[in-house]
Structure 1
Amino acid sequence: MRTLNLGILAHIDAGKTSLTERLLHAAGVIDEIGSVDAGSTQTDSLALERQRGITIKSAVVSFAVDDVTVNLIDTPGHPDFIAEVERVLSVLDGAVLVVSAVEGVQAQTRVLMRTLQRLRIPTLIFVNKIDRRGADAQRTLRALAGKLTPAVIPAVAAHDVGTRTPTVAAYGADDRPFTEALTDLLTSYDDDLLAAYVHDEKTVTHARLRSALAAQTRRAQVHPVFFGSAITGAGMAELTAGIKELLPAPEGDPEGPVSGTVFKVERGPSGEKIAYVRMLSGAVRVRDAVRFGQDSEGKVTAVSVFDQGAAVRGDTVPAGRIGKLWGLGSIRIGDHIGDTPPPSPERHHFAPPTLETVVVPARTTSRAALHSALTQLAEQDPLINLRHDELRQEISVSLYGEVQKEVIGATLADEYGIDVTFRESTTICVERLDGAGEAFEIIAKEPNPFLATVGLRVEPAPLNSGVEFRLGIELGSMPYAFFRAVEDTVRESLHQGINGWQIPDCRVTMTHSGYWPRQSHSHGTFDKSMSSTAGDFRNLTPLILMDALRRAGTTVHEPMHHFRLEAPADTFGTILQVLSRLRAVPRTPRMDGTTSLLEGEIPAASVHSLEQQLPSLTRGEGLLESAFERYRPVTAAAPSRPRTDHNPLNRREYLLQVVRRVSGQVGG
């Protein structure tokens, strides 16, 4: 059988989990449809998910559609848990984007669609809740074309929308308006089809159009739209048929080299790590020794494969399938499995977290346990990005929003028995280089107390290009371990720039190197005082890097959100005053009858305040959507963040912390 790894994505409350339940029921996997409100769904298994009625962790279920095995991955819709969606994208063959027929296109809908298009993931759109009062199929279609992409085409006709008994019917060859619209759309992307239509439109049969629709959908050029209701079941047969016909289901290469991607890690009842892997080629079997990550290896002790709704224990995870692996103790999310060289690191598909908070244990005696628990949570969600401050004995975590605090707190209490509180969230800024800068220190020359020569040049790099480390000297000029020590330390040190913020985009070139080779006394013992070690390079590099950064100069940038605000027109003046105080930059407003529509940019630090004030400003009628847009230079005094390292910006303080042997006078 072929395998389709399918993601279900949506803005919160669009009905994504309910749709998963309905598809499982239609496929005969479950006898009774679970309820999100009652907490009885297949994919929301966490206690907090059942309590809040939202998806927090991605979950995998499986069902069959004729000769296609569908591994369906239900993802969170709340923007605070976008990191879960991020990890799923790398293993998808196709996606269904769920949109509510009542609320229409929402902020998260646009974020998700932009990402699916950028990654060219074949996507169907399912307009849900057509049984709800206020549902409007044509209005939703116009919103899809206007706000998401013009390359949408309704694949079914929806009748009695907005009533409790809507019906759905697939378009056929006799539906001329549909055929004409489909032809217009498909010929925009297919010159051969256009030429055939112009030459003799009769040659462009309905079967040829369906074939072209499937081909262009699989190339992520067009996006068929289905209507239905996950609650009543209307439109499910048509959507299921569309999933099979229009989305790709690659067979994989069972004879190819072992190659897979880990997209989720969880802990079992005994604390053991369980890795969720999508196999691209080859197969992983029980007792196989597999390589993963950069240079790790482990033996697989157990395997399960998703089949007919659940993960079933077996012996093998074959190519194309999703499975769970036990026994790989140091495995991490994003690791590549297999003997082939891992692919280059992927760029993040969504914006990074823009908030952070300090996690405070209720009892000081719980600090060590809290550290261990948060480390395990970071394995499951690397983007919470633990930040340890040894000097203040504090741990910070990164956040996408305030709801994450509740989830982290509840998880620590329920799973680890640790009660915590959180400090007020603060904004995470970044630093960007103003220009180029260079610094170096020579071995055995003041003020360098280390047995190492290191020179570094820093230069700005394009946005979102990451940190690039280059060698401006011969690789063979000293042992590779010393080069590796410099590069690793550079990457670590750039997490804290001149003002304490990460420098995400930077090109660093090593311009000078030098070392003292291994020396021994006459009796053959190693003399550390006369021999360079990797530690010398690790200790010297932060000093050189910070000197280079000082000379280059940095500017602190704060995260900005794009906002879209609908409010009664008579409240417009008051809203503008509040936006001004919050340092927002609104654009020219648009009026639609008694409603004003305002878009613009607002600092991420001000979004929560605007959300809190909006109900009173608009008599409860205001509607705010916001999403990260970009980083903007801070024009006022640059905010700084306390350092968690030994502060290489203060040479004397730094050397007192790290130097164990210093020859000569230490420079101040």
Structure 2
Amino acid sequence: MRVIPTTRVRNLGILAHVDAGKTTVTERILFLTGAVHKRGEVHDGTTVTDFDPQERERGITISSAAVSCSWADHRITLIDTPGHVDFSDEVERALRVLDGAVAVFDAVAGVEPQSETVWRQADRYGVPRIAFVNKMDRAGADLDAAVVSIRDRLGAVPLPVQLPIGREGGFRGVVDLVGMRAYVWADGAGEPEEREVTGALRAEALRRRRALEEAVAELHPPALEEFCATDALGDGTLVRALRDLTLEGAAVVVLCGSAYRNRGVEPLLDAVVAYLPAPADRPPVGGGERAADPYGPLVALAFKVSAGATGRMTYLRVYSGSLGKGATVLDTATGRTERISRVLRVQADRTAELPVGLAGDIVAVVGPKTVRAGATLCAPGAPVVLEPPVTAAPVVSVAVEARRSTDTDRLATALARLAEEDPSLVVRSDPETGQTLLSGMGELHLEVAVERLRRDRGLEVAVGRPQVAYRETVVKGVTGLTYRHVKQDGGAGQFAHVVLDVEPLDGGGEFAFSSTVTGGRVPAEYVRAVEAGCRDALVEGPLGGHPVTGVRVTLTDGATHPKDSSELAFRAAGRFALREALRASVVALLEPVAEVTVTVPSDSVGAVLGDLAARRGRVADSRVRGGTSMVTATVPLAELFGYATRLRGRTQGRGTFATRPAGYEPLKG
């Protein structure tokens, strides 16, 4: 096996709003790099990364898929991520293990709602990005407007390094402002034709090159020194500065093209190699102690589990050390050791066996039986725990049951496997009705999960109406709530005395706990136990058994018994005391809301606004561009079930909409 130095490895994600062209960009990259020999098309259902039947039928990415290819003597591992908001947890898990990303934007729409969501997710993990403005051949495409939207809506510093040649349907190439060369793609041709930049195009390119140099000099001190000394930046200095700014997250290099028409993808690959980080460029993990060294102790993070009919595969990012067949690893989440029976390079739905996975690699392994997404695998003699990806709380639930009573056990097993593969799916039993509830991130998320039960497991299931996940919060709290927990039933007893103040938590947080007890009346270990008990009580609120959020609890006093006090007693006291306090407080019900962006022909705006008002929506913004209107509103999630069908009917099929979570608001009425 040819070992590629980690300096020539790039692990990157393709991120975007749904329909911005992520999967098409990925397909063109795979074709140009020789990883596939025929271009796949989303509309034909022939793409490599969207290999699931549902993905091909729906024309969207549902699960992240990893593929590897080579370009300019570099190995690039790509993860094509979903663009639909219901599958944002897939994006979260991918971003946790990536070194860089390409953010794809629609040249007409610019930054769209889910673009903002994935951008903030990348911010959370400090993932450096470059931008690719796609669909430059569409009517209304405008690179400059897209760049402005990146600056205004994302708060980023965009640095365009290309000038498009031709507009809309006449788009045929780009000018590279760094090398000052033009690249033109003929229809049906493979490689671009490289040309001199002449005439009016050269004058505009020189103007933009100057603006690029000035912007870079303002942000990069070494470049500023050269700029002040020579009134210009050399090509080498400009490339180095652009790379530094990208790695620091101080700026975003912007390129453009039309992936569908095979224009602009080669320069995008060159930019990936030039500007995005290698594993060695990223900060060491494990408290800063484990660098990307193939000879160091093993550290890997599991970010995805596939439990299909062919067996269980665990997808890993190897941060340090090496991982080979027969290796024994420690799962720090469970404390168990697991044996690796195979190491695989993944090409979407195909695999190739590897002798070893090295630091910087993204691989799949066969063998571990209980490893879950988010677990750290490491050398047994050098344990370390890495931060797992964040998993969002589900907001929509449906009741599911097997149509045949003989399939009840099979359904339970299938649901458990679904939740194992997708941690954003939660399976629980309703204590009042006894029904099995499947909870997820949205209506589409649950539709896909139920369809997998039917197709992959051959189960006939009945599904109830979707229900949103409500929350409860304190509007007006109580002070001095006193609770004494005394239990004596032979042997050692239990005693704990606590006094709590409960009030709303300002700033939109979920829960805050503090103690003002003085004089050692409640020892520190018991204070921690009270906090744990309070967290236990937040699981079910007094109004309808919904989780409680937005609460501040202060332990103001308490007392202990020399023999009968314990952490267990104080945890119970904290739980029962907060339950009593919540019952005595004024508590309100919260419902999940979403920001909805509706794009419709301008002559349909009136009907759309009326429908949004009927759905308790609050319009925040309305913009018109070229005969098309974009309306942004905040709408309760419960009112959006079936909205797609209603919108198509009111706009003769010409309206589209996108949503993103906007938190919780008090339920009115």
Q: TM-score, normalised by structure 2?
A: 0.81
Deviations 1:449-484 (A, max 9, x none): 98454747456556575556778799999999x999
Q: Identify the residue that residue 558 of structure 1 maps to in structure 2.
A: 591
Q: Identify the residue that residue 406 of structure 1 maps to in structure 2.
A: 447
> 2:548 corresponds to which letter in structure 1?
I
- 2:308 paired with 1:277: no
Query: Could you tell me whether the CA contact under 8 Å between 2:33 and 2:69 is conserved in 1?
Result: yes
Partner-residue secondary structure (3-state), 1:413: helix
The 5-angstrom pairing of residues 329-344 of structure 1 reads 329-338=369-378, 339-343=382-386
2:459 to 418, 424, 427: 418
Q: Identify the residue that residue 243 of structure 1 maps to in structure 2.
A: 272
TM-aligned CA distance change 1:591 to 1:172, over 3 Å:
closer
TM-aligned CA distance change 1:11 to 1:574, over 3 Å:
closer
Partner-residue secondary structure (3-state), 1:495: coil
2:223 to 185, 193, 196: 193
Shift of 1:263: 0.9
> 2:304 corresponds to which letter in structure 1?
K
Q: Which segment drifts farther, 122-131 or 206-215? A: 122-131
Shift of 1:425: 1.2
TM-aligned CA distance change 1:241 to 1:589, over 3 Å:
closer
Deviations 1:42-83 (A, max 9, x none): 222322223323221111111223343211111112222111
Partner-residue secondary structure (3-state), 2:273: helix
Aligned equivalents of 2:561 and 2:162: distance in 1? 72
Partner-residue secondary structure (3-state), 1:442: strand
Q: Identify the residue that residue 212 of structure 2 maps to in structure 1.
A: 182
The 5-angstrom pairing of residues 121-160 of structure 1 reads 121-132=127-138, 135-149=141-155, 151-160=157-166
1:325 to 365, 386, 392: 365
Deviations 1:403-434 (A, max 9, x none): 22331122111222221132111222222334
Deviations 1:518-561 (A, max 9, x none): xxxxxxxxxxxxx9999988877653431133245433222222
Q: Which segment drifts farther, 364-373 or 336-345? A: 336-345
Q: Identify the residue that residue 69 of structure 2 maps to in structure 1.
A: 63
The 5-angstrom pairing of residues 222-621 of structure 1 reads 222-251=251-280, 252-269=292-309, 272-306=311-345, 311-338=351-378, 339-343=382-386, 347=390, 352-434=393-475, 435=477, 438-444=481-487, 451=494, 453=496, 455=498, 457=500, 461=505, 490-499=534-543, 500-504=545-549, 506=551, 542-567=575-600, 572-587=605-620, 589=622, 597-608=630-641, 610-618=643-651, 620-621=653-654
TM-aligned CA distance change 1:148 to 1:78, over 3 Å:
same
Aligned equivalents of 2:231 and 2:434: distance in 1? 74
Aligned equivalents of 1:246 and 1:230: distance in 2? 20
RMSD between aligned alpha carbons? Answer: 3.8
TM-aligned CA distance change 1:226 to 1:163, over 3 Å:
same
Shift of 1:90: 0.6
Aligned equivalents of 1:15 and 1:100: distance in 2? 8
Unaligned runs of 5+ in 2: 181-204, 281-291
Aligned equivalents of 1:237 and 1:50: distance in 2? 26
Query: Could you tell me whether the CA contact under 8 Å between 2:85 and 2:659 is conserved in 1?
Result: no
Aligned equivalents of 1:52 and 1:592: distance in 2? 28
Query: Could you tell me whether the CA contact under 8 Å between 2:521 and 2:558 is conserved in 1?
Result: no
TM-aligned CA distance change 1:544 to 1:256, over 3 Å:
farther
Query: Could you tell me whether the CA contact under 8 Å between 1:60 and 1:74 is conserved in 2?
Result: yes
TM-aligned CA distance change 1:326 to 1:476, over 3 Å:
farther
Query: Could you tell me whether the CA contact under 8 Å between 1:361 and 1:418 is conserved in 2?
Result: yes
2:10 to 4, 12, 15: 4
Partner-residue secondary structure (3-state), 2:219: coil
Aligned equivalents of 2:365 and 2:518: distance in 1? 43
Query: Could you tell me whether the CA contact under 8 Å between 2:164 and 2:171 is conserved in 1?
Result: no
Query: Could you tell me whether the CA contact under 8 Å between 1:305 and 1:321 is conserved in 2?
Result: no
Partner-residue secondary structure (3-state), 1:320: coil
Aligned equivalents of 2:141 and 2:434: distance in 1? 53
> 2:63 corresponds to which letter in structure 1?
K
Query: Could you tell me whether the CA contact under 8 Å between 2:590 and 2:665 is conserved in 1?
Result: yes
Aligned equivalents of 1:274 and 1:516: distance in 2? 53
Residue-pair matches, total: 616
Shift of 1:247: 0.2
Partner-residue secondary structure (3-state), 1:90: helix
- 2:637 paired with 1:631: no
Shift of 1:94: 0.5
- 2:73 paired with 1:34: no
Query: Could you tell me whether the CA contact under 8 Å between 1:257 and 1:340 is conserved in 2?
Result: no
Deviations 1:247-296 (A, max 9, x none): 001231234443222110111435x5322111222233333332224342
Partner-residue secondary structure (3-state), 1:81: helix
- 2:102 paired with 1:101: no
> 1:543 corresponds to which letter in structure 2?
F
Deviations 1:2-36 (A, max 9, x none): 22210011222222222222212222222222233
Aligned equivalents of 1:11 and 1:178: distance in 2? 28
TM-aligned CA distance change 1:503 to 1:456, over 3 Å:
farther
How many percent identity over aligned positions? 29
Partner-residue secondary structure (3-state), 1:193: helix
TM-aligned CA distance change 1:7 to 1:143, over 3 Å:
same
Shift of 1:346: 5.7
Partner-residue secondary structure (3-state), 1:601: strand
Partner-residue secondary structure (3-state), 1:403: helix
Q: Identify the residue that residue 216 of structure 1 maps to in structure 2.
A: 245
> 1:6 corresponds to which letter in structure 2?
L
The 5-angstrom pairing of residues 649-664 of structure 1 reads none
Q: Identify the residue that residue 114 of structure 1 maps to in structure 2.
A: 120
Aligned equivalents of 2:521 and 2:81: distance in 1? 48
Aligned equivalents of 1:162 and 1:443: distance in 2? 77
Query: Could you tell me whether the CA contact under 8 Å between 1:11 and 1:78 is conserved in 2?
Result: yes
Aligned equivalents of 2:485 and 2:148: distance in 1? 66
> 2:207 corresponds to which letter in structure 1?
P
Q: Identify the residue that residue 528 of structure 1 maps to in structure 2.
A: none
Q: TM-score, normalised by structure 1?
A: 0.81
